[in-house]
């Protein structure tokens, strides 16, 4: 295994590992409800699948490993719109706290966004096939 492949594999393992750890925390925190536990489990399974596909050099690995943090970013950022509405529909005692929590989630969405951007750059810049030319990479 060459150094470029090792670097990319290490980054995918770190990125997906961080996201899987977050998913496991949701799964193990039983007070969040069944939906949260299922979403956390789905996140863990997707992250492990992404690492396995990267090890096996599958073409789907790129889409999955960039798509997981990008989708998580979109979900967290969109909470600015749906979380206050959900709090009102559930007749929450503190609907203003839902709006504050949504803003906090919007700020935290920067973490998976950074992971998605760095993972995309790792796939784009770290070419593991040495026989490809610059024009085949789409850089010209």
Domain boundaries along the sequence of the chain: 3-127
Task: Please give the backbone phi and psi of residue 31, each rounded to the nearest 5 degrees, phi first.
Answer: -80, -5
- Which residues have a Cβ under 8 Å from the Cβ of 24 and sit 6 or more positions away? 40, 44
Q: Mean of the pLDDT values across residues 62-70?
A: 95
CA distance 118 to 121: 5
How confident is the model at residue 140, as a pLDDT?
46
> For residue 32, is pLDDT > 70?
no
Confidence of residue 133 (pLDDT cuts 50, 70, 90): low
CA distance 140 to 128: 19
- Chain segment 75-90, per-residue pLDDT in tens: 999 999 988 888 888 8
Among the listed residues 71, 68, 61, 45, the one whose alpha carbon sits nearest the alpha carbon of residue 9 = 61
Confidence of residue 109 (pLDDT cuts 50, 70, 90): very high
């Amino acid at each position: 295994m060459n150094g470029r492949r090792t670097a990319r594999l290490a980054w995918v393992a770190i990125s997906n590992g961080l996201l899987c750890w977050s998913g496991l925390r949701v799964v193990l925190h039983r007070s969040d409800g069944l939906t949260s536990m299922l979403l956390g489990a789905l996140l863990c399974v997707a992250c492990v699948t992404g690492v396995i596909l990267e090890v096996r050099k599958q073409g789907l690995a790129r889409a999955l490993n960039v798509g997981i943090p990008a989708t998580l970013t979109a979900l967290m950022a969109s909470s600015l719109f749906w979380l206050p509405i959900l709090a009102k529909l559930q007749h929450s005692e503190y609907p203003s706290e839902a709006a504050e929590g949504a803003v906090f989630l919007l700020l935290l969405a920067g973490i998976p966004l950074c992971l998605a951007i760095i993972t995309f750059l790792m796939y784009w810049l770290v070419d593991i096939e040495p026989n490809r030319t610059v024009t085949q990479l789409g850089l010209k």
